[in-house]
Amino acid sequence: MTRYSQLAGEGRDASDLPVWRSAHTLDLAYVGYGLLIVALVLVSYVLGVFHWLPHDPEQIRFDLLNAPPGSAGHLLGTDFLGRDILSRLIVAIQAYFLPGLVAIVISLVAGTTLGALAGHRGGEVEVLVTYFNNLVDSFPRLVLILLVIAAFKADIYYIMIIVGVTGVPVVASLVAGKIAFLRQKHFIEAAHVLGLPSHVIVLKHILWYHCGPLLVIRATIGMGEAILIETSLSYLGFGVQEPMPSWGNMVQAGANYFFQGKFWPSTAPALAILLTILGFHLLGDGLNSILEDRGGK
């Protein structure tokens, strides 16, 4: 049974309700969870940078190997060398946080520029940008990164540049699509007629008002992707090297013990990856849903 009820007062002012009243509860839950994750990541990043950690992440304790969570003040237990897992998880965030931001900035800035150019100028510019997009999309990202690693070195920032560049097509087509859609609406023509210079129209009206939320959503999803790439690469052995922790290399290192029945050293970082990426994805998804609902009504 779906229930529809009209709030008290006929003839009430038909102004729209604030966002949190009209959105689906589930979308709000998604956004809430996502924001929580973002907050945790930020906090952990700061903690990691200043080394405000419960334990020394590199301290080996042979007497406490593979301790379960909760033993002797180790909230999340210890790994196969007796090192505190929680501290290592926190420190490992530095492996992807700043590089991830680099990737996001690159894809958003370059993507928006290309998309705006293509959408606004159309014609040959559009063809060129489309070609560029299809070209970039032809590469499997991980394989391309391996090429760069082979040619240059396994530097996370080089890698994130690649991640950023491969993220450009999505952003560019989003922006260009939005512009193509908005062009049909007459306010762009009106703005032209009023004498507003082109770049003002594009920057202010289109990008800020309309694409802003879309780009924020893209940024959240982009961060999720960056985390995935970084952890995958360090799992493969190309990222941060031991004893420096990264969620990826923690999973890899704990893998042997996995088959001996000691799941936790591998599972703890895997859960961290899961919950964090989930948080970013749900945040993006929830925001997207809410945005669509508002736009529709």
- Give whichever of 55 and 265 is closer to another protein, judged by the CB atom: 265
Pick from 3, 50, 124, 194: which binds another protein (CB under 8 A)? 3
- Give whichever of 83 and 281 is closer to another protein, judged by the CB atom: 281
- Give whichever of 104 and 172 is closer to another protein, judged by the CB atom: 172
Q: Which stretch binds another protein (CB under 8 A): 45-53, 63-71, 106-114, 246-254?
A: 246-254
The number of beta carbons lying within 10 Å of the beta carbon of residue 268 is 22
Pick from 38, 137, 183, 213: which binds another protein (CB under 8 A)? 137
94, 169, 163, 97: which is closest to 130 by C-alpha?
Answer: 169
- Give whichever of 20 and 52 is closer to another protein, judged by the CB atom: 20
- Give whichever of 45 and 258 is closer to another protein, judged by the CB atom: 258
| First-last CA distance in the chain | 23
Q: Which two tokens stand for residue 100?
A: 């991830």
- Report in angstroms how near the CB of residue 115 gets to another protein at its nearest: 9
Q: Which stretch binds another protein (CB under 8 A): 68-76, 103-111, 190-198, 270-278?
A: 270-278
State the Cα–Cα distance between residues 32 and 25, nearest whole angstrom.
10
Scan residues 192-231 and list those touching another protein (CB under 8 A).
224, 228, 231
Scan residues 70-109 and list those touching another protein (CB under 8 A).
none
- Sign, CA dihedral 42-45-50-55, equals positive
Pick from 258, 262, 289, 291: which binds another protein (CB under 8 A)? 258
Pick from 59, 71, 134, 241: which binds another protein (CB under 8 A)? 134
- Give whichever of 64 and 180 is closer to another protein, judged by the CB atom: 180
How many CA atoms lie within 13 Å of 65's alpha carbon, on the beta-carbon side?
6
Query: At 256, which helix (H) or strand (E)?
Result: helix 247-258
Asked if 43 touches another protein (CB under 8 A), the answer is no
Residue type, 261: G
Pick from 28, 65, 109, 144: which binds another protein (CB under 8 A)? 144
Asked if 2 touches another protein (CB under 8 A), the answer is yes
Scan residues 161-180 and list those touching another protein (CB under 8 A).
173, 176-177, 180
The number of beta carbons lying within 10 Å of the beta carbon of residue 148 is 15
Q: Which stretch binds another protein (CB under 8 A): 62-70, 91-99, 193-201, 244-252?
A: 244-252
- 289-297 LR contacts (CB < 8 Å, sep 24+): 289/23, 289/24, 289/27, 289/30, 290/19, 290/23, 290/24, 290/27, 290/28, 290/31, 291/213, 291/214, 291/217, 293/22, 293/23, 293/24, 293/27, 294/16, 294/19, 294/22, 294/23, 297/16, 297/22
Residue 216 backbone dihedrals phi, psi, to 5 degrees:
-60, -45
**Number of residues located near another protein, criterion CB under 8 A:** 71
